[in-house]
Chains A and B, each alone.
Chain A
Amino acid sequence: GAGVSQSPSNKVTEKGKDVELRCDPISGHTALYWYRQSLGQGLEFLIYFQGNSAPDKSGLPSDRFSAERTGGSVSTLTIQRTQQEDSAVYLCASSWGYGGQMVAFFGQGTRLTVV
Chain B
Amino acid sequence: QQQVKQSPQSLIVQKGGISIINCAYENTAFDYFPWYQQFPGKGPALLIAIRPDVSEKKEGRFTISFNKSAKQFSLHIMDSQPGDSATYFCAASKRRALTFGSGTRLQVQP
Contact = CB atoms under 8 A, between A and B. Distances in A.
Interface of A: 4, 31, 33, 35, 40-43, 45, 48, 50, 56, 91, 93, 95, 97, 100-109
Contact of B45 (A35, A41, A97, A106): A106
Interface stretch (B13-21, B64-72, B93-101): B93-101
B96 A97 contact: yes
Interface in B85-110: 89, 93, 96-103, 105
Nearest to A6: B43
Interface string B30-50: 011010100001111110010
28 contacts: A4-B43, A31-B96, A33-B98, A40-B105, A42-B89, A42-B100, A42-B101, A42-B103, A45-B100, A50-B97, A56-B97, A91-B44, A93-B98, A97-B96, A100-B31, A100-B32, A101-B93, A102-B93, A103-B49, A104-B34, A105-B45, A105-B46, A106-B36, A106-B45, A108-B41, A108-B42, A108-B43, A109-B43
**Chain A interface, DSSP helix/strand/loop, else mixed:** strand
* For the complex of A and B, 7 pairs with smallest distance between CB atoms: A106-B43, A42-B102, A43-B100, A102-B96, A42-B103, A101-B32, A106-B44
Given A31-B96, A48-B97, A101 B46 contact: no
Interface of B: 6, 31-32, 34, 36, 41-46, 49, 51, 89, 93, 96-103, 105
A103 B46 CA distance: 7
A4 to B, nearest CB: 7
Nearest to B49: A101
Contact of B43 (A91, A95, A102): A91
Contacts of B105: 40
A50 B96 contact: yes
B40 to A, nearest CB: 10
Contacts of B93: 101-102
B35 to A, nearest CB: 12
Contacts of B45: 105-106
